[in-house]
Chain A
Amino acid sequence: MKRNNIFFKVFNEESILIQWNDKVDINLIDSIISYKNLIEQELSEILIECVQSINSMMVIYNSNKINSEDLINTLENLYSLDLKVGETEKKIWKIPVCYDLSFGIDLEDLSTSNSISIDEIIKLHNSLTYNVLSMGFLPGFLYLGMNDKKLYCERKDKPKLNIKSGSVGIARDQTGIYPQDSPGGWRIIGRSPISFFNVDDKSPCFAKPGDKIKFQNISLSEFNQIEINKSSYKIKYEVI
């Protein structure tokens, strides 16, 4: 497979930024994740951590052990090898969401601005399989792509001060889930009763970039039932 061109940039005394100039798509995410796994396996001696995003990656290293020039050469060589390593199992997670108007506080506005019925919004949001593109913003916040064009909307000019934990929002071509109460500018269409971040778990988040998410419409009473037994709720998934 021909590798996409990448560019290296010294970011500070102990970080190198790797940039892909390609169009954002799921193949690119997979390629970045596979490169990240390779770096983590081969350069563990000098690596502090790798931060993956949608079309770039930050490599943070111990500058007492290697200089930036040597590291860039090493990274270039590793990239040209195009080895597949540390392939972990990928999953499709089934996430219950209640689209009741009391949770989906922006559903009515979105319906008006995009000339689409609320039922149609829910149907579209349930029919798509979303890719976990990256995580950031808040501990455990999932950036999911890509929305149907009919759901496209800009973020709010003024963020709302208190978006509730579990809220599912839309901004541009992405969907996101708020793992904790937080200010936020995404348009909220529903809420999930499950928890997306548990600091005391060995892996505080169940999903990881490269996984997929499918939303499933639940009623208000189903929401309440799951929420009461939140801690024992087993999130359903299929292995891809």
Chain B
Amino acid sequence: MIKVIKEGLFSTIQDSGRFGYKNIGIPVSGAMDQASAKLANLLLGNDERSAVLEMTLLGPTLEFMNDTYISITGADMNPVLNKQKILLNKTLLINKGDILCLSHSTNGMRSYLGVKGGFNSETKLGSKSFYRGITKREKLIKNDKIKFDQAISSPKTVNKNINDFKINRKGDIKVFKGPEFDLLDTYSKDIIFNTDFTIGINNRMGYNLVEPIKNSISSIISSPVMPGTVQLTPSGKIIILCRDCQTTGGYPRILQLDKNSINCLSQKTIGEIINFKLV
């Protein structure tokens, strides 16, 4: 078990997602940066889909109530274990009573804490991912306790190359043309691949981009959308949908991010610049 001493900004339990319920309007959810979540699990010899703790911008302070092994991946929140600085992307032995303190992230937006065997919070509709109206909690608060299974053996050596999971944060955001892309006028089609877009207000539902583009397309009949769908609103604002996005939407879907670009975007914060590039 782990106890929340200080809650940080926004920490949630996430796994690989909630599948099979989009038809009744339930978002897929799951870790925003799936690659980092997967790495946290693989370092511990867990199933790569196990539940991890996703921490945003300012991490929590946590007390361990049992011995276990942990790993921390994704953004660097300068993790400190019992006042001693620890490294990312490593497997660490934890003793009962240890205090783990995460602070402001210095690169990236989201950090992931994996625990041997995975976190064992409540499962709702096949997933442990927090989501309002589905799980009791939508984020962790002070004094919350989250269960994990007792570690019986040390994690087996990981044979995957962890460099495969390190994200190139400087890279372009790779996209497919969306279903309504061809309805854009020639000018907009060109400008979208030649503009430095600034990241605006964002959360687990979506990322707003600051620079508008001309919108010549009217709204469409409400149609399926996915994490990574790039919508163009009537006023020309661009929204990139993320893991907690709704399942259908009425704004034209002009682009669709590839899988890894969604992970890459999830580590970007307000004010950073992105460019779109066709897959």
Contact A135 B24, CB 8 Å, known A12-B176, A19-B179, A199-B133: yes
Count of chain A residues with a beta carbon within 8 Å of a chain B beta carbon: 38
CB <8 Å contact, B224 and A53: yes
CB <8 Å contact, A24 and B221: yes
**Complex Cα–Cα for A50 and B24 (A):** 11
Judge if A92 is at the interface, Cβ distance under 8 Å.
Answer: no
Judge if A160 is at the interface, Cβ distance under 8 Å.
Answer: no
Contact A135 B256, CB 8 Å, known A54-B222, A55-B223, A197-B133: no
CB <8 Å contact, A51 and B224: yes
The 0/1 profile, CB within 8 Å of B marked 1, for residues 133-161 of chain A is 01111111101000000000000000000
Judge if A175 is at the interface, Cβ distance under 8 Å.
Answer: no
Count of chain B residues with a beta carbon within 8 Å of a chain A beta carbon: 27
Main secondary structure, interface of B, reads: loop
Near B by CB (< 8 A), chain A positions 15-74 give 15, 17, 19, 24, 48-58, 60
A-B contact count (CB 8 A): 93
Contact A15 B226, CB 8 Å, known A9-B179, A49-B19, A135-B25: yes
Interface core residue of B21, B25, B179, B246 (most chain A CB under 10 Å): B25
Q: Which of B20, B222, B226 contacts A136 (CB 8 A)?
A: B222
**Complex Cα–Cα for A158 and B221 (A):** 20
CB <8 Å contact, A55 and B134: no
Near A by CB (< 8 A), chain B positions 1-38 give 19-26
CB <8 Å contact, A12 and B258: yes
Judge if B198 is at the interface, Cβ distance under 8 Å.
Answer: no
CB distance from B216 to the nearest CB of A (A): 20
CB <8 Å contact, B223 and A137: no
**Complex Cα–Cα for A14 and B224 (A):** 14
CB <8 Å contact, B22 and A55: no
The 0/1 profile, CB within 8 Å of A marked 1, for residues 169-186 of chain B is 000000010010000000
CB <8 Å contact, B223 and A54: yes
**Complex Cα–Cα for A19 and B182 (A):** 15
**Complex Cα–Cα for A138 and B179 (A):** 23
Q: Which of B23, B247, B248, B259 contacts A12 (CB 8 A)?
A: B259
Q: Which of A9, A11, A58, A139 contacts B134 (CB 8 A)?
A: A139
CB <8 Å contact, A139 and B24: yes
CB <8 Å contact, A11 and B226: yes
Instruction: Determine the chain B residues whose CB is within 8 A of the CB of A126 once the complex forms.
Output: none
Instruction: Determine the chain B residues whose CB is within 8 A of the CB of A55 once the complex forms.
Output: 221, 223
**Complex Cα–Cα for A209 and B247 (A):** 15
CB <8 Å contact, B179 and A204: no
Q: Which of B21, B23, B25, B223 contacts A138 (CB 8 A)?
A: B25
Closest 4 A-B residue pairs measured CB to CB?
A136-B248, A58-B224, A51-B224, A51-B22
Instruction: List 12 A-B residue pairs with CB atoms under 8 Å apart, sorted by A's residue number.
Output: A12-B176, A17-B224, A51-B22, A52-B23, A53-B223, A135-B23, A135-B24, A139-B26, A180-B133, A197-B133, A204-B125, A208-B24
Contacts from A to B (Cβ < 8 Å): 9-15, 17, 19, 24, 48-58, 60, 134-141, 143, 180, 197, 199, 204-205, 208-209
